[in-house]
Amino acid sequence: MFVILEGDCLVKFDEECYYCNPGCFCYINPGVFHSVTLINKKNLLRSYGYL
């Protein structure tokens, strides 16, 4: 998986979820599917399909 951070972003990854800190824009690229999802402090990307 690839995580591209903009600004002073910090992303925590565990088995199921990505979390984006307040004020950050985090781009998640789940390798095989080559898809990029933009999330923010109020959104949570469930990555079951990407594991």
Contact 29, 35 (CB under 8 A): yes
Task: Note the pTM of the prediction, 2 decimals.
Answer: 0.17
Provide the pLDDT for residue 49: 42
13 pairs with which residues across the strands? 18
For 41, the domain range is 2-47
Number of domains in the chain: 1
CA distance 14 to 28: 13
Distance CA 23, CA 16 (A): 22
47: helix, strand or coil: coil
- Mean pLDDT over residues 25-33, rounded? 44
